[in-house]
Structure formats: structure tokens, C-alpha cells
Amino acid sequence: MANIASAQKRIRQTVKRTARNKARKSRVHGAIRKIEEAVAGGDKQAALEAFRAAQPELQRAVTKGVLKANAVSRKLSRLSAHVKAVPAG
């Protein structure tokens, strides 16, 4: 355990930040999972709704520094292709 006050504060900050980032990443994974489940089920409308809900969550992860911009761009592009490939009806 750190003895210096500034080091103790950094530890407290890191614990908070780690929890926040973990929660944000978990929300992103959940959003992606919803899209993939809708695509696997063949429900285009549900997949579109899930995709629209996931986009801001993924972009927010980029602005907060949890995920890299290119990684999110790639994920969105691939998810979009999967959603478009689902037959309407």
C-alpha cells in the first residue's frame, strides 16, 4: 500500500476509473450482443433498432477513451453489413 498521499489518491482514482470503464465496456458488449442475437434470429426490425441504440454507446466509448476510434468504426461497419444482410420480412 502506498504511503504518500498523492499515490493513495491516484489509487483511489484508478479504482473509480477502472469501474467506470468496465461498466462502459460491458454496455458496449451488451449492445453488440443484442444486434448479433437479432441478426441470428432473422429479425431485421429488431436488428435495426438494436443497431441504432448501439451506435451512440460505441461512439461514447471512443470519446471517453475506452475503445479506439478505428476499432469502433470497424465494428460498426461489420455490424451494419450483418444487419443489411438479414432478409426483410
Question: Does pLDDT of 76 surpass 90?
Answer: yes
Question: Does pLDDT of 52 surpass 90?
Answer: yes
Q: What pLDDT was estimated at residue 9?
A: 96
- 79 closest CA partner among 40, 41, 35, 37: 35
Question: Does pLDDT of 56 surpass 90?
Answer: yes
Band of the pLDDT at 88, cuts 50, 70, 90? confident
pLDDT tens, position by position, 6-41: 999 999 999 999 999 999 999 999 999 999 999 999
Say if residues 2 and 46 touch (Cβ distance below 8 Å).
Answer: no
DSSP annotation of 39 reads: H
Question: Does pLDDT of 89 surpass 90?
Answer: no
Residue ranges of domains in the chain: 5-85
CATH 1.20.58.110, domain 5-85, yes or no: yes
- Percent of the chain surpassing pLDDT 90: 94
